[in-house]
Chain A
Amino acid sequence: MTSDALLLLGSILVPAIGSVLFFSGFAKDEGSLKKLGYLVFGFPCLAAVILFFRFDGSAGYNFEVLYDRMGLQELGITFHLGLNGVSSPLFAMAGIVGLGAGLAALHSGAERMHLYLALLALMQAGLMGLFASVDIFFYYLFHEFALIPTFIMIGLWGGRDRRSIALEITIYLTLGALISLGGLVALNILVDAPKFDFPSISAALDQSSLTDSAAFKIYGLLLLGFGILVALFPFHTWAARGYDTAPTSVSMLHAGVLKKFGLYGIIQIASPLLPEAALAWSPWLMWLALGNILLVGMVAVAQTNFKSMISYGSVMHMGYCFLGIGVCSVLGVGSTVMLMCAHGLSVSLMFLLANFVRKRSNTLEMQEIGGLGEKTPLLACFCIAATLATIGLPGFGNFWGEFGIFLSLGESHEHLIFLVLAALGIILSAVFGLRAIAQIFFGQESEELRKHAKESPIADLSRAEIIPASLILVALLFIGLWPASISDRINDEISNRYSHLQLKNTLSKPSCCPVDEDVKSIETPYSTSD
């Protein structure tokens, strides 16, 4: 095993072992708890960043770790880790957001800190493992590792209605996870590949004779299951309520990283493996994605609570990701990966900052704040930057993602309608984002805030708060200013995996004439000669 592969394995094992240590009460006093916390959350981040830069940029997997004897032989499950062009930036993003969330948790002063950190570290281990898995079963298993602590943490440390919301999202997400598991099992059995990992299944699919209708059904299952997990419109109702009530670190990790599980699954598994089905489903997917952008966007505009607004905003931006996937082109899907990275960073930054605002104003109702910017200029700066990033202004990673998706929509006449409607969404996100900034940081200081400030004076960000926020902001700016650092490897990987799809895409729709018959007439001689 190379040292890089060791780093990859370590980035999963260190938080997992850390979780056990936290749970067993290994670190007694505050100081050693913090030291252990820095190690447990710092190591994956460091490893992820190192691996990000050591990635050699070619298509296929790097830093592979493989244990054959672990897992069910019958289903071809092996313990197989590795990073490819798509997972490498997401892996780095998971590490950075994880460190940010970990630091926020260490300074959150939560009750029963041991348990809180233990669950968060377990979640972090699951998130790192999720993006590092080559094997599809372990990809799913790591997802559940991250998901289960979410339920418990919402139930224990959540805000209002935490008990009923914890149960609601447990049921909702279990349904999604089981449906997608059904799709994955179906894929595994129908393809009958020797191993249950991404490359083997894709190799086996080239030879197997999966019928179109079977592929269509499996893709539908995966889309439904993953769609529920990513909060695709009409299955989005759990998300905003959940994030709203969850403690900050959990909102950061779930909205930022864990929710990308479903998108990652569609991009890595469903679309490249079942290209015809992806094309057949794409109109459905894109109309639903518009539901995310426009309807949920309008719901976000209507929010009066800052955190609810961020929650609905994050659900809304998932719509752009689905649009990019629906285009089924290298540009569209690649930009989606880009947006996933940037969105993970920006939304977790927003949740982090919302918590800082709440600490100072004692409320998140935007009308009850106002004029906070005078007292906390630094916080205002961070908030404005994060909001601009969310809206998708140039300079931040989100811009490249959304821009690429719009470009890919513009490539085809059929998608023009989506382009126009999706562009309206940008206005929506500008409306709610900028309005929130205006209400919270500018304008008149509200009566409630003045009263609260008398009791406890409002200070600007402390160093412990600046570090996690600037860590994430720097990463966002890095992607925004040097997009090639991640777009090159995404492009290599996607164009390699999607070559199949690209071909079909251009074949099937060069113009508006009924092409299907043409394609058939080309194909018939081959099929009859067999």
Chain B
Amino acid sequence: MSMETYLNFSQDNLWGELWPELSLCLGALLVLGFDLFSKSSNAKKRAGSLAIFFQFILLAAHLFDYLLLRHTFDRESFSGMLKHGIHQDVMRSFFLLSSLLVSLLGHRYLETRKLRVGEFHHLTMIATAGLMLLCQTQHFLVFFVALETVALCFYPLVAFDRESPKSLEAGIKYLIFGALSSALLLFGIVLLYGVGSNPEAWGTTLSTVPSSDAFSFSFLYQLLSENPNHLLLRAGVVLIISGIAFKVGAAPFQIWVPDVYHGAPMPITAFLAVSSKSAGFFVLINLVNGPFAGMSEFLLPLLGFVATFTIFFGNLAACSQRNLKRMLGLSGVAHAGYLLVAVMASMLLPGESDRAVWILFFYLFTYLLASFAVFGVMGLARVTDDSEHEFSDYENLAQKKPWAAFVLVVGIGSLAGIPPFAGFIGKLLLFSVAFETKLFLSIVAMVIGVVISIYYYFGWIREICFHPRPVFEDDEAKHDPWKDVGSVGMLKPALFSLVLASIVLGLWQGPIGDAF
């Protein structure tokens, strides 16, 4: 290698582009250090406030940076291993917002349950930095490293409540399934790399020899579009997509979802539901429109089957759940199915898959607003065991805590996709883009899925709003989880702003609507 190559490398390594990730990692270390060196337990609590404050400033700075200061053109760095642009920036602020909300929920959660503060926020922030990096990769090595960073943070987070056997069990389950999905993914990547690094030996053809190596997306795009029928390449692609399907909880790799959601601490359940899933979808939509674009004819029926199966499995399985965390997990599986339809639509929109990406963003954003509202209120309940949220715990909430009931009902309504909440607009856009791309069977599946979902979502609303069964004198005195909720501090305005955003976005999309 000549000096010139090194020069090019050094000029190309634009660390400045990664400032949000770097400062987030720095902040994570600060939080950890603060927690380590502060003596009293009271001071340790302040590590949480520090984490929230830091992430808030970072989110504001990042929004300011790319919305107001910088042009939003696409650019590459690190020899084409990373790509930065408006999509990536939107996703980065999405993850920052989600992580901020997780820290907010976690702040109160850790306090009431006397759990360690510093590690929680530290791991959350590192995981978020990993997710932010993940959505910018153009190279399977960086991709895998970022993904593993995220996964390694999630394993301890899921098992964070070490006193609770459910949480530990969920941690083990997540570890095993996560390892399996990483193995599938890695195997897929290796297959593509193996064929790509010596194309002739495997009977593939390449018209021009590209400059980049066989891990990079641009190389794989060329390889796959010239050899869409090659068996090993197909196997590699299917394995990679299976690995991602694990992360987003799409059938037939959804089996871990209810168990892990069930056991994980509430803020982490929300984190898994929103950030982890969104990252998976962003990566998937980039892969199928980027390196895997040449194989879309092969992938479409496959994804179509997966989407339909996911929608039906998620909704039908959620109907029979009495535990709300499991139900939300399975309804999240159903949402993954709807989002897969957006991914399919993006493959069918020639040259303007951009629109499908924006629709995916909008849907994910409405999902974030609704999910955090719901999980936020659920985190308030002082149920004896955090894993066991039953329908009956929410009986008559509307009279016990009207504001919490209001937030919860709006959140559920938005998840169910009823107007005038933002979730409805998300579903409407999804329907319209699916119709445009003639995915009629998927639309039918979505409509049936939404109607089934009304059953369990409204079942919950019914518990919250409508009169409970009469109380008899010989009834056992039941623990009321809403009796001593105590002060909620910052959480209340945060939850209300989520709800407000859900309603406003449902009625008026304004400038966001123009993006489509």
Question: A residues bordering B, Cβ < 8 Å?
Answer: 69-75, 140-141, 144-145, 148, 151-152, 155-156, 162-163, 166-167, 170-171, 174-175, 178-179, 181-182, 185-186, 188-189
Stretch touching chain A among B59-67, B79-87, B451-459: B451-459
Shortest beta-carbon distance from B415 to chain A in Å: 14
Q: Which residue of A lies closest to B506 (CB)?
A: A141
A-B pairs with the 3 shortest C-beta distances? A74-B516, A144-B419, A155-B466
A167 touches B462 (CB 8 A): yes
B462 contacts across to A, CB distance below 8 A: 155, 163, 166-167
A182 contacts across to B, CB distance below 8 A: 431, 435, 443, 447
* Number of A-B pairs, beta carbon distance below 8 Å: 80
B465 in contact (CB, < 8 A): yes
Q: Which residue of A lies closest to B508 (CB)?
A: A70
B443 touches A156 (CB 8 A): no
Shortest beta-carbon distance from A166 to chain B in Å: 7
A174 contacts across to B, CB distance below 8 A: 418, 450-451, 454
B418 touches A144 (CB 8 A): yes
Q: Which residue of B lies closest to A69 (CB)?
A: B510
Beyond contacts A170-B454, A189-B432: 10 other A-B pairs, Cβ-Cβ < 8 A, are A73-B513, A74-B429, A144-B419, A144-B424, A156-B466, A167-B458, A174-B454, A179-B447, A181-B428, A181-B431
Interface string of B418-458 (1 = CB under 8 A from A): 11100011001101100110000001000100110011001
B465 touches A152 (CB 8 A): yes
A-B contact pairs, 17 of them (CB 8 A): A71-B513, A74-B513, A140-B419, A141-B419, A141-B420, A144-B424, A156-B465, A166-B462, A167-B455, A167-B459, A170-B454, A171-B451, A171-B455, A174-B418, A174-B450, A175-B451, A186-B435
B509 in contact (CB, < 8 A): yes
Shortest beta-carbon distance from B377 to chain A in Å: 18
A145 touches B513 (CB 8 A): no
Residue from the list B458, B459, B509 in contact with A72, Cβ < 8 A: B509
A148 contacts across to B, CB distance below 8 A: 418
Give chain B interface residues in 444-495, CB to chain A under 8 Å.
447, 450-451, 454-455, 458-459, 462, 465-467
B508 touches A185 (CB 8 A): no
Report Cα–Cα, A322/B473, bound state, in Å: 53
A141 contacts across to B, CB distance below 8 A: 419-420
B74 in contact (CB, < 8 A): no
Report Cα–Cα, A75/B516, bound state, in Å: 9
B458 touches A73 (CB 8 A): no
Main secondary structure of the interface of A (DSSP, over half): helix
Shortest beta-carbon distance from A143 to chain B in Å: 9
B420 contacts across to A, CB distance below 8 A: 141, 144-145
Residue from the list A74, A145, A156, A167 in contact with B467, Cβ < 8 A: A156
A185 touches B432 (CB 8 A): yes
A69 contacts across to B, CB distance below 8 A: 510
A170 contacts across to B, CB distance below 8 A: 454, 458
B163 in contact (CB, < 8 A): no
B516 contacts across to A, CB distance below 8 A: 72-74
B465 touches A72 (CB 8 A): no
B514 in contact (CB, < 8 A): yes
Report Cα–Cα, A74/B433, bound state, in Å: 11
Residue count of chain B within 8 Å CB distance of chain A: 30
Shortest beta-carbon distance from B97 to chain A in Å: 23
Report Cα–Cα, A141/B436, bound state, in Å: 22
A73 touches B466 (CB 8 A): no
Q: Which residue of B lies closest to A151 (CB)?
A: B458
A178 contacts across to B, CB distance below 8 A: 447, 450-451
Q: Which residue of A lies closest to B512 (CB)?
A: A72
A72 contacts across to B, CB distance below 8 A: 425, 428-429, 509, 513, 516
Shortest beta-carbon distance from A156 to chain B in Å: 6
A167 contacts across to B, CB distance below 8 A: 455, 458-459, 462
Residue from the list A145, A155, A162, A163 in contact with B419, Cβ < 8 A: A145
Shortest beta-carbon distance from B461 to chain A in Å: 8
Report Cα–Cα, A145/B467, bound state, in Å: 23
A156 contacts across to B, CB distance below 8 A: 465-467
Residue from the list A140, A152, A162, A185 in contact with B431, Cβ < 8 A: A185
Shortest beta-carbon distance from A411 to chain B in Å: 38
Shortest beta-carbon distance from A128 to chain B in Å: 16
Report Cα–Cα, A174/B429, bound state, in Å: 18
Report Cα–Cα, A31/B443, bound state, in Å: 51
Q: Which residue of A lies closest to B443 (CB)?
A: A182
Q: Which residue of A lies closest to B509 (CB)?
A: A72
Q: Which residue of A lies closest to B447 (CB)?
A: A178
B447 contacts across to A, CB distance below 8 A: 175, 178-179, 182
B429 contacts across to A, CB distance below 8 A: 72, 74-75
B466 touches A163 (CB 8 A): yes
B355 contacts across to A, CB distance below 8 A: 74
A73 touches B451 (CB 8 A): no
Report Cα–Cα, A70/B424, bound state, in Å: 16
Report Cα–Cα, A151/B355, bound state, in Å: 35
Q: Which residue of A lies closest to B468 (CB)?
A: A163
Report Cα–Cα, A152/B406, bound state, in Å: 13
Report Cα–Cα, A145/B513, bound state, in Å: 21
Report Cα–Cα, A182/B440, bound state, in Å: 10
Shortest beta-carbon distance from A441 to chain B in Å: 35
Q: Which residue of B lies closest to A75 (CB)?
A: B432
Shortest beta-carbon distance from A112 to chain B in Å: 9
Residue from the list A73, A152, A188 in contact with B432, Cβ < 8 A: A188
Shortest beta-carbon distance from B241 to chain A in Å: 28
Shortest beta-carbon distance from B73 to chain A in Å: 23
Residue from the list A73, A175, A189 in contact with B436, Cβ < 8 A: A189
Q: Which residue of B lies closest to A155 (CB)?
A: B466
Report Cα–Cα, A174/B428, bound state, in Å: 14
Report Cα–Cα, A178/B425, bound state, in Å: 13
Give chain B interface residues in 263-304, CB to chain A under 8 Å.
none
Report Cα–Cα, A499/B420, bound state, in Å: 36
Q: Which residue of B lies closest to A176 (CB)?
A: B451
Shortest beta-carbon distance from A96 to chain B in Å: 26
B454 touches A171 (CB 8 A): yes
Q: Which residue of B lies closest to A67 (CB)?
A: B508
Report Cα–Cα, A302/B516, bound state, in Å: 55
Report Cα–Cα, A4/B424, bound state, in Å: 32
Report Cα–Cα, A156/B462, bound state, in Å: 9
B428 touches A185 (CB 8 A): yes
Residue from the list A70, A155, A185, A186 in contact with B465, Cβ < 8 A: A155
Report Cα–Cα, A144/B427, bound state, in Å: 15
Report Cα–Cα, A72/B419, bound state, in Å: 14
Report Cα–Cα, A178/B424, bound state, in Å: 11
Q: Which residue of A lies closest to B466 (CB)?
A: A155
Q: Which residue of B lies closest to A111 (CB)?
A: B467
Report Cα–Cα, A141/B507, bound state, in Å: 9
B454 touches A166 (CB 8 A): no
Shortest beta-carbon distance from A177 to chain B in Å: 9
